[in-house]
Amino acid sequence: MTSPSPTTATPSAATTTTSSIVPSDADAIDLIFDLVREYSPSRHELPASRRLAERAAALGLHATVDDAGNFVASTHADPLRPSPDHRDIVLLGHIDTVPGEIPVRIDDGILHGRGSVDAKGPLATFVIAAARLRDRLPPGVRIVVIGAVEEETPTSRGARAVVDRYQPIACVIGEPSGTSGVTVGYKGRLVVRAEASRSLSHTAGPDRSAADRVLAWWSRVLSRVATLVTETPSPFRSLQHSVRTMHAADDGFTDRAELVAGFRLPPNVSPEQLKAVCLDEAGTEVSLTFVGAEVCFEADPKSSLVRALTGAIRESSPDTRPRILYKTGTSDMNVIGPAWRCPIAAFGPGDSSLDHTPQEHLVLDEYLLACRVLERAITRLAEESPASSAPAR
3 state DSSP class of 272 = helix
Distance separating alpha carbons of residues 259 and 262, to the nearest angstrom: 10
Q: What are phi and psi of 57, to 5 degrees?
A: -65, -40
- Whether residue 85 contacts residue 99, with contact meaning beta carbons closer than 8 Å, is answered with no
Q: Are 36 and 111 in contact (CB under 8 A)?
A: yes
Alpha-carbon distance 147 to 145, whole Å?
7
Phi, psi of 36 (to 5 degrees): -65, -30
Question: Rounded distance, CA 334 to CA 181, Å?
Answer: 18
Angle between helices 46-58 and 25-37 (to 10 degrees): 160
251 is catalytic: no
Contact 112, 120 (CB under 8 A): no
Could you confirm whether 151 is annotated as catalytic?
Answer: yes
Q: Which of 54, 96, 150, 360 is catalytic?
A: 96
Q: How far is residue 316's CA from residue 379's CA, in Å, rounded to a whole number?
A: 13
| Catalytic residue of the set 27, 151, 255, 332 | 151
* CB 218, CB 288: distance < 8 Å: no
Q: From CA 19, how far away is CA 30, in angstroms rounded? A: 18
Helix (H, G, I), strand (E, B) or coil at 384: coil
- Closest C-alpha among 294, 86, 66, 101 to residue 186: 294
Cis peptide before 58 (omega within 30 of 0): no
303 burial via Cβ count (<10 Å: 0-12, 13-18, 19+):
middle
Query: In whole angstroms, what is the distance from residue 172 CA to residue 81 CA?
Result: 19
Catalogue the active-site residues. 96, 151
